[in-house]
Chains A and B, each alone.
Chain A
Amino acid sequence: MSAWLRIVLREVRRAWSSGGLLLPVAFFLLVAILFPFGIGPDARLLARIAPGAVWAAALLAALLPVERLVAPDLESGVLDQFAVRGIPDGSVAAAKIAGHWLGFAPPLLVATIVAAALLHLPEAALPALLASLAIGTPGLAALGVATAALVAGLRGAGALAGLILLPFAVPLLIFGVGAASGQPGAIKLLGAVSLLLVAGCPAAAGAAMRMGRS
């Protein structure tokens, strides 16, 4: 097995083992549940806002694991050990993105089915919503790792992470909701934005990790 795959697997293991996975998913469901409470039991209205509510909840849930993605590795010297072994920072960041997505997205998709039921989303609309999340979450994971690398070691990292991540996630939100609502072309734009983030974030996160080390 290649070194890169081992780093990916370590990320997946860390996501699943520390209970770090249950928390974002529970948070996601809770946010999704808040909407029916706040808006009332009007099934038609809820169904209309469901894609937007689910996507907003997904963005907020994506913020939760940010603090454990890079900062602990910087502190304990794991990033140093990768660097001494000649593994490029960008490659470590890419492995972190892949591992984070594998740990974060599947449970989120399962939870989306529950959230969609709570929001009275018609069954026919569920596949489009799931597809939009499946396409958008890699971009969200990339953004999460890049943010984590930027704020690692700073005070108030959690609050800062929100301020950095959420503005960059707005295009994902717009095209994600558009794709989930069946707007033509939105799914392609969502894919483009997600791809752009997945391509660009490893370099950005790698540079931030290099800065954090020196």
Chain B
Amino acid sequence: MSAALAFEDVACVRGGRLLFEEVGFALGPGDALLVRGPNGVGKSSLIRIAAGLLPPAAGTVRVDGGRALLAEGIALDSELSLGEALRFWAGLEGRGHYLVDAENRVGLRSLSRVPVRLLSTGQRRRAGLARVIASGAPVWLLDEPANGLDSGAISMLEDIVARHRAEGGIAVVATHQPISLPGAQELTL
């Protein structure tokens, strides 16, 4: 899996306010970046810039390889069952057959028939993670992936990210919670 993600002197302005500037890093296969900082400092904006959803106010962003985003919005149709809702996204990329494995890895296989609207906060996070896994994209952009997760699920998340990096993927994790990413670069905004 060839993948790369690099920021050079990136600045972010939101609502006329400078959130951060001169942010730079370079990630290659197997690398991870842990983005830390208090609320409102621009962690989510950095993830959105990396995802290409937000143009940087200055600097350049280079991405090589597909991206997968786990953000605050669950982006699953609440009237569908979890399995059907995830199948829409996996099907969009022609990767429907990877879904069962992804559901198993986040421990949601048994909830496949449960309507999305009945899921708890932590289960929604895990569903978002299943979508990221099933996407097969090498560059993972995870915004507060540990929100609502219990301690068991957090170690599951750490294992999932570790395996993704071992397979040559890249992970950018923005979080205010302690998540262990061995050998990850750290960026404090």
A76 contacts which chain B residues (CB < 8 A)? 73-76
Looking at A17, A84, A86, the one whose CB has the most chain B CB atoms below 10 A away is A84
User: Main SS of chain A's interface residues?
Assistant: helix
Q: What string of 1s and 0s marks CB contacts (under 8 Å) between A11-29 and chain B?
A: 0001001100000000000
A3 contacts which chain B residues (CB < 8 A)? 92-93
A45 interface residue per 8 A CB criterion: no
B55 contacts which chain A residues (CB < 8 A)? 214
Q: What string of 1s and 0s marks CB contacts (under 8 Å) between B57-96 and chain A?
A: 0000000001111011111110100000000110111000
Q: A76-B75, A77-B72, A78-B75 are in contact. Are A83 and B92 (CB under 8 A)?
A: no
Q: How far is the CA of A157 from the CA of B71 in the complex (A)?
A: 25
B76 contacts which chain A residues (CB < 8 A)? 76
Closest CB in chain B relative to A16 CB, distance in Å? 11
User: Main SS of chain B's interface residues?
Assistant: loop
Query: A-B pairs with CB below 8 Å: how many?
Result: 54
Q: How far is the CA of A14 from the CA of B54 in the complex (A)?
A: 28
A120 interface residue per 8 A CB criterion: no
Q: A10-B77, A18-B79 are in contact. Are A80 and B92 (CB under 8 A)?
A: no
Q: A6-B88, A214-B53, A214-B54 are in contact. Are A84 and B77 (CB under 8 A)?
A: no
Q: Which of B112-168 contact A (CB under 8 A)?
A: 131
Additional A-B contacts beyond A84-B67, A85-B93, A86-B66 (7; CB < 8 A): A6-B91, A17-B79, A75-B73, A77-B71, A77-B72, A78-B73, A80-B48
What are 10 residue pairs bridging A and B, where the CB atoms are less than 8 Å apart in the complex? A1-B91, A18-B79, A76-B73, A76-B74, A77-B71, A77-B72, A83-B52, A214-B53, A214-B54, A214-B55
A84 contacts which chain B residues (CB < 8 A)? 51-53, 67-69
